[in-house]
A and B are shown apart, each in its own frame.
Chain A
Amino acid sequence: QKEVEQNSGPLSVPEGAIASLNCTYSDRGSQSFFWYRQYSGKSPELIMFIYSNGDKEDGRFTAQLNKASQYVSLLIRDSQPSDSATYLCAVPGGGTSYGKLTFGQGTILTVHP
């Protein structure tokens, strides 16, 4: 059974700083990973998708994947108060169950002005 672990936080950073969120996973066969952001009372929204070792950048967000260490992280540069949310790391199922996600516990991020 896939397991996904995150530090639940809360993580508090000042506005403009870099927020670093971490996730480890148990299934060495996992090929791809999602980072979702979830505001209170809302559904998760996709921020990043990564499947190759190394870094993937999209605007202020950078996902880093290290398959050897079974570790995936999300960096948020120039953090804004609007980034305050819960960040969820997720691993998809295999084959035809790609949309079947195993989520980490989520990390609560607070960006203070």
Chain B
Amino acid sequence: GAVVSQHPSWVICKSGTSVKIECRSLDFQATTMFWYRQFPKQSLMLMATSNEGSKATYEQGVEKDKFLINHASLTLSTLTVTSAHPEDSSFYICSPQGYLGTEAFFGQGTRLTVV
């Protein structure tokens, strides 16, 4: 399977601050990046889809000005949670998709806790 590196694996931040999460595809070119989040005891929910060099498309109910996604290269995408609040505490997971798009791969996930 593909090698995906996501970090940090966990982060604790104060309410009102911003947090950046990085996702790298190490052995293939990620033309598309999916960002999911998972609240406790719930399943993964897609937040947004980004294509390299384009603006991200956000799912209904996800604030695009709060969750900034940058996908400037085929190997790196970042998700920045701006002005984080306790309700943003969740498990964030990236999933890059390459040209062939035959399988979904996941980063290790980032546990965000906002205090």
Contact = CB atoms under 8 A, between A and B. Distances in A.
B32 A105 contact: no
Contacts of B111: 41
A98 B102 contact: yes
A66 B100 CA distance: 26
Contacts of B44: 44, 88, 101, 103
B90 to A, nearest CB: 12
Contact of B34 (A44, A99, A104): A99
B49 A97 contact: yes
Chief secondary structure at chain B's binding surface: loop
Contact of A96 (B42, B101, B109): B101
A70 to B, nearest CB: 19
Interface residues of A, number: 22
Given A34-B104, A98-B102, A99-B101, A106 B46 contact: no
A88 B91 CA distance: 16
A43 B104 CA distance: 12
Interface in B1-48: 1, 32, 34, 42-46
A42 interface: yes
Nearest to A96: B101
Interface of A: 34, 41-46, 49, 88, 90, 92, 96-106
5 contacts: A42-B109, A44-B93, A99-B97, A101-B104, A103-B44
**The 3 nearest A-B residue pairs measured at CB:** A99-B97, A98-B101, A43-B106
